[in-house]
Amino acid sequence: MTFPINYNVAPKAPPASFTSLHITTSSVMLSWLPPPKALTNGAIRFYVIEITEANTGTNYTINTIHKLTHVVGDLHPFYTYHFAIYAVTISAGPPTLPLVLTTLETGKFVYIYLI
């Protein structure tokens, strides 16, 4: 089965399987998969991460990520953040649902193991 692809529009679906792999006091490692092929409308050029500090409402954007993992650094200890990812072809598609994470308190760390 083939799917019609319109190369002049944004992806129709967000990236899939958006999760965190590692959290420290000042960083978060995020991971995701591309949107389903039938809904990308062309080649994914890059991904955009949108970050909102829940404690202050401050928004940040990280553009031009060309891989499926990224470490977001320079975060505050024990702050809550909302993360969302967009896939971009000619323009940005819909965002993932927000991933709400809290960085660790100073002096603590956690590893998340996927089985």
Sketch the domain layout of the chain as residue ranges. Answer: 16-111
Question: Which H or E run includes 20?
Answer: strand 16-23
Fold of 16-111: Immunoglobulin-like (2.60.40)
C-alpha 78/C-alpha 2 separation (Å) is: 48
Of 39, 65, 67, the residue nearest 51 (C-alpha): 65
Percent of the chain with pLDDT over 70: 85
Question: For the whole model, what pTM was predicted?
Answer: 0.85
* Angle value at C-alpha 79, between 78 and 80, nearest 5 degrees: 125
Query: pLDDT, tens digit, for every residue of 8-58?
Result: 689 999 999 999 999 999 999 999 999 999 999 989 999 999 999 998 999
